[in-house]
Chains A and B, each alone.
Chain A
């Protein structure tokens, strides 16, 4: 149906808090909802949603294996590799942890000396948290190749659901792999100089990728901070503001969701959830 990425630029601004609470609010209103954790280096949505995992699948990258009896050390494979994963010495030498699995080397080899073999990079876990469909990627410790695992998580998107995709922080490859082909990006920030700086980078990235986006200000302290001014100048809608509150932090620190009537997270995010149900996340913004 519709896919939303919840991203941020800066880490620790509240992406997961927003994602899991939006998922619950949408389910409460009768929507079919799926939560996908693409923060594969440290997925933490499960702490709040406490899902039952029904299926675990290994995610792999195809890496080249050189048949030394056929290799003529011509260097074509190393030449074609954008990631310097192959060196041609007396024979071609593969550094599998640098390989992105594009398969270019096997195509370039004139003597058929390259076979591809799967290399494990992590797992995709699928299950349910009550009525919410749950998917998360877990990257192997020390593994750098997040992109292919994120794409594996994204392949679990159900076309009939509203999908909420919890993105990794930053503005690099992993975020690009996450927000690509989503319908809308919710950028969560905080009213600090760091929050604003990283929000600006994230907005630039979303524009580069042609993504529509709006902002949620978490730990909001006033209506007149530089973050609001920036959003106004740039014409970016503010989808919600979550007031700075010790209570929200206490719930978070216990791994609990804050769903009680009149609680801060419910009241701050409900208008956005309602707009998402109507099919326009900006419907409630004036």
Chain B
């Protein structure tokens, strides 16, 4: 399974970015081989509108089937659900590695609807 994590940096120690659509970077982590790649999200970060939609499209194209982020708006939620991506919320965790641990030991809550209003 591939997990996309919204983050402010590009490493396992990087701080999480609690915004989904306007996250600085997505770190794509592969649970099979424990390898990761970093993907810049600057273009969506600067979008006037529809950042969440485009971010959802990006992580789906990267092959992610789960997302770990802080919050997700209604349009991103709909796009991720349509793409079959599960959304896990990690508001209080320090970094990417902690978030992946929390997901794997089942302590992350899964979002069943949007957690914020769209911009």
**Interface code A80-121, partner B: CB below 8 Å = 1, 0 otherwise?**
000111011110010100100000000000000000000000
Count chain B residues whose beta carbon lies closer than 8 angstroms to a beta carbon of A.
16
Q: Are B49 and A89 touching (Cβ within 8 A)? A: no
User: For the complex, is A78 an interface residue (Cβ under 8 Å from B)?
Assistant: yes
> In whole angstroms, how far apart are the Cα atoms of A85 and B54 in the complex?
9
Distance, CA A78 to CA B47, complexed state (A): 14
Q: Point out the residues of chain B lying under 8 angstroms from A84, CB to CB.
A: 47, 49-51, 53-54
Contact yes or no, B60 A85, CB < 8 A:
no
Contacts of B53 in A (CB 8 A): 84-85, 87, 93, 95, 98
Contact in complex: A78, B82 (CB < 8 Å): no
Q: Is the CB of A89 within 8 A of B83?
A: yes
Against A, the Cβ 8 Å flags (1 = close, 0 = not) of B20-64 are 000000000000000000000000000111110110110010000
B47: nearest chain-A partner, CB-CB: A84
Q: Assess the B49–A87 pair: CB atoms within 8 A.
A: no
Q: CA A240 – CA B43 in complex, angstroms?
A: 46
Compute how far the CA of A84 lies from the CA of B60 in the bound complex, rounded to whole angstroms: 16
- Closest Cβ of chain B to A85, distance in Å, is 6
Chain A: residues with Cβ within 8 Å of the partner, total of: 11
Closest Cβ–Cβ distance, residue B73 to chain A (whole Å): 11
B80 to chain A, nearest CB (A): 9
B47 to chain A, nearest CB (A): 6
Shortest CB-to-CB span from A178 to chain B, Å, is 20
Q: Which of B48, B78, B82 touches A90 (beta carbons < 8 Å)?
A: B82
Binding site for A on B (CB under 8 A): 47-51, 53-54, 56-57, 60, 75, 78-79, 82-84
Q: Which 9 A-B pairs have the closest CB atoms?
A: A84-B50, A89-B83, A87-B57, A87-B53, A87-B79, A89-B82, A84-B54, A84-B53, A98-B50
A residues near B (Cβ < 8 Å) are 78, 83-85, 87-90, 93, 95, 98
Contacts A83-B50, A85-B50, A90-B84 known; list 10 others, CB within 8 Å: A83-B48, A83-B49, A84-B51, A85-B53, A89-B60, A93-B79, A93-B82, A95-B53, A98-B49, A98-B75
